[in-house]
Each structure stands twice: as C-alpha cells, then as structure tokens.
C-alpha cells in the first residue's frame, strides 16, 4: 500500500512518469491508478486528440510503440492506455520503447491477474525509466483496516464491528467491496457527521448485526456456547446470506492466526499486532481471549477439523450431512 499511495500522490501532484506498468492479481489498485491518470493527465478539451485507449486482444507491441511515439497536439502530453495487456504475446519486445520513452507520452500498461517476469530485462528496465507497480491481494485479516482507511479518505466513519462485518461477508474482493461501500455512502446524509453503522449494513446489505461471522468469532473465542449456537442456528435458517463457504475461511483464518500467537515469544497486544501484521489494537481482542481458552494442540486439531469440514461441504466423503449440521458438528468440537 505504501508504494500505491506514493504513486497516487505523485499523479495528483502531476509528477508523471513516461511509462507506467500496473500488474498483479488485484485489479482494484490497477484500475484506481489508471483512472487517476485518465482524469488528471489531460483536461477535457485535450482528450479527443491526445488520449488513446487500446486493448490487448486487439493490438500488439508494434502498434503500441507507434502510438507512443506520436507527439501530442496542442497539449503537453498524450496519454496512451493499454488495457488487458496480459493478452499481448510479444509484450517483452516493448523493451525497445521503454529503454528510451518519449517524454511527452504517458504510456500506461494494465497487466492484470499476473505479473511480468521480473528476471527478464523488460521489468527491470521499466523500473528504471518509469513506474513498475505490483498490485497484490490484501490478506483477509487486513481488510477491516483497509475499509476504515478507505472511508476515512471520504470523511466517513465506520467502527470496528461494522468494518469486520463487511470484511467477513464480502471477503477480499476489493471491486465488490468498493461497490457496496459506494451503495452505503449514497444512503448517508449530505450534511453533518457521516457514519456507517451495523444497522445501516443490516438494512441494505442483508448482514445481521447480531448474527454474523464477526460475532461468531467473538463467541467462540470466549467459549460463549449459547451465543455461538444461536448464531449457527441463524446461519442454518438463512443459508443464502450466511453460506458455509463464507464462514469456514473466517474460522480457518482465526485459528491459524491464533496458532501463530501461541508460538509467539511476545503475546502482548503489541507482540500480537507485530506477529500478525495488524494495524488496529481492537483486532487483537479475540486473539488475547483465545489464548486463554484454547491450547496449541486444541487449535492445531481444530484447523484440521475445519479443513475436513470444508471438504465435506464440497461432497468429499459426505453423502448425507447438510451444511447446517456440518457447522453444528464443527462448533461442538470447538467449544468442548
């Protein structure tokens, strides 16, 4: 995220590079940086003659270089954006241009879902003459902090529980997450303090503020048998909004991280944050509680049980037990 913010800051300050290659498995950051360039480099009157968008399936490196070597018309820059560049077979030959790019052209390459081979000279040359950015997936346990920071930029407040509810329900698909945040943002008042609450999420996205994966983890960590069973029963009655495929990764992530905490030398709040790469102190609460209620061997066995449940939910060695009962069986093993 640090490099992303640095690139974004430079773009907003109009400190452009002649070549940008945005690559990697997370399309969200690639799209965000590309959109910044599309709205910042040229004003509206300059775009007709100086902005060109090409697509990897319909072009090749020769055409890209030809476009990039043209000079702008009545503008300081021309902007050439190549989307879906991962579909271009001869992409490595682009090195003939990036070794000596035209200063008046800003060439933007979107290379999604994969990366250039960093061992080859193209990647290393781009890193010297332009900007090479790898967009990586954000780990699930960092999504709540991402949500909080993203909304903070929009002057919108969201508390830890609400952020975790969204993270557990939507996962780390940032494109989908951003669409849901946009939808919630439109429902906020235009004046005064803007806050996304659990109630707003419940009413408009369909996640219960009381029965969700966030509350389930808290109940399991503290071994609150009654609350945990109530949540699982709610999940069983509302499988569409609470599929087992969404709950199992949350449980696996929690117990995997708890195992890391158990073998960490420093189990203080600061130590847990360091060991797990957490940014907010509230994220350590359930881990500190779990350290007192689960032994390392118990956690190790539960991780195995979660894997087994996942396989059974997909039909492996399971011909009759439905997902609701699979979760009940797993919960019993966690709490007893």
pLDDT at res. 171: 82
Sort 85 into a burial class: Cβ within 10 Å, 0-12 / 13-18 / 19+: buried
CATH code at 210-336: 1.20.272.10
Paired residues of 158 in beta bridges: 196
139-208 is a CATH 1.10.8.60 domain:
yes
CA nearest to 168, candidates 148, 149, 140, 145: 140
The pTM for the full model equals 0.76
pLDDT at res. 205: 85
Task: Answer for the pair 234, 249: CB distance below 8 angstroms, yes or no.
Answer: no
Whether the domain at 2-134 and the domain at 210-336 fall into the same CATH topology: no
pLDDT at res. 325: 94
Token representation of residue 44:
């509206």
- CA angle 106/101/78 to nearest 5° reads 30
Token representation of residue 178:
């951003």
DSSP secondary-structure letter at 177?
H
Q: For 213-332, list the strands marked E by DSSP.
A: none
Alpha helices for 25-109 (secondary structure H) = 27-40, 44-50, 61-68, 95-98
- CA angle 171/309/202 to nearest 5° reads 35
Neighbouring C-beta atoms of residue 44, cutoff 10 Å: 7
- Secondary structure in 3-state letters for 223-237: CCHHHHHHHHHHHHH
CATH class of the domain whose range is 2-134: alpha beta
Provide the CA 56 distance to its chain's centre, in angstroms: 25
Per-residue model confidence as pLDDT tens for the chain (336 residues): 789 999 999 999 999 999 999 999 999 999 999 999 999 999 999 999 999 999 999 999 999 999 999 999 999 999 999 999 999 988 999 999 999 999 999 999 999 999 998 889 999 999 999 999 999 999 887 888 899 999 998 999 998 889 988 988 888 889 889 999 999 999 998 888 899 999 999 899 888 889 999 999 999 999 999 999 999 999 999 988 889 998 999 999 999 999 999 999 999 999 999 999 887 788 899 999 999 999 999 999 999 999 999 999 998 988 788 999 999 999 999 999
DSSP secondary-structure letter at 319?
S
Radius of gyration of the chain (CA): 24
CA nearest to 194, candidates 184, 204, 202, 203: 184
pLDDT at res. 289: 96
Any idea where the domains of the chain sit in the sequence? 2-134, 139-208, 210-336
pLDDT at res. 121: 93
Sign of the C-alpha dihedral, residues 29, 33, 39, 40?
Answer: positive
């Amino acid at each position: 995220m640090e490099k992303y913010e640095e690139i974004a800051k430079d773009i907003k300050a109009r400190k452009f590079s002649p070549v940008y290659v945005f690559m990697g498995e997370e399309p969200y950051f690639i799209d965000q940086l590309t959109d910044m360039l599309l709205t910042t480099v040229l004003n509206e009157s300059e775009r007709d003659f100086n902005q060109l968008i090409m697509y990897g399936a319909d072009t090749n490196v020769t055409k890209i270089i030809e476009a990039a070597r043209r000079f702008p018309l009545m503008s300081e820059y021309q902007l050439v954006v190549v989307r879906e560049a991962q579909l271009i077979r001869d992409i490595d030959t682009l090195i003939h241009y990036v070794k000596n790019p035209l200063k008046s052209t800003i060439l933007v390459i979107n290379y999604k879902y994969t990366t250039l081979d960093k061992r080859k000279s193209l990647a290393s040359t781009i890193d010297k003459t332009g900007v090479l950015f790898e967009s990586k997936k954000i780990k699930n346990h960092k999504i709540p902090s991402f949500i909080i920071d993203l909304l903070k930029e929009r002057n919108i407040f969201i508390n830890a529980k609400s952020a975790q509810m969204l993270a557990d329900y939507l996962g780390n698909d940032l494109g989908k997450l951003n669409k849901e945040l946009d939808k919630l943002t439109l429902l906020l008042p235009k004046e005064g303090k803007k806050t996304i609450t659990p109630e707003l999420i419940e009413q408009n996205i369909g996640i219960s503020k009381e029965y969700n994966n966030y509350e389930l983890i808290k109940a399991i960590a503290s071994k609150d048998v009654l609350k945990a069973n109530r949540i699982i029963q709610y999940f069983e009655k509302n499988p569409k909004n609470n599929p087992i495929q969404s709950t199992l990764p949350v449980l696996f992530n929690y117990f995997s991280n708890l195992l890391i905490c158990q073998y960490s030398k420093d189990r203080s709040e600061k130590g847990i944050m360091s060991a797990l790469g957490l940014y907010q102190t509230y994220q350590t609460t359930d881990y500190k509680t779990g350290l007192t209620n689960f032994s390392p061997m118990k956690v190790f066995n539960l991780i195995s049980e979660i894997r087994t449940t996942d396989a059974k939910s997909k039909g492996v060695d399971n011909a009759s037990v439905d997902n609701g009962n699979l979760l009940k069986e797993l919960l019993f093993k966690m709490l007893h």
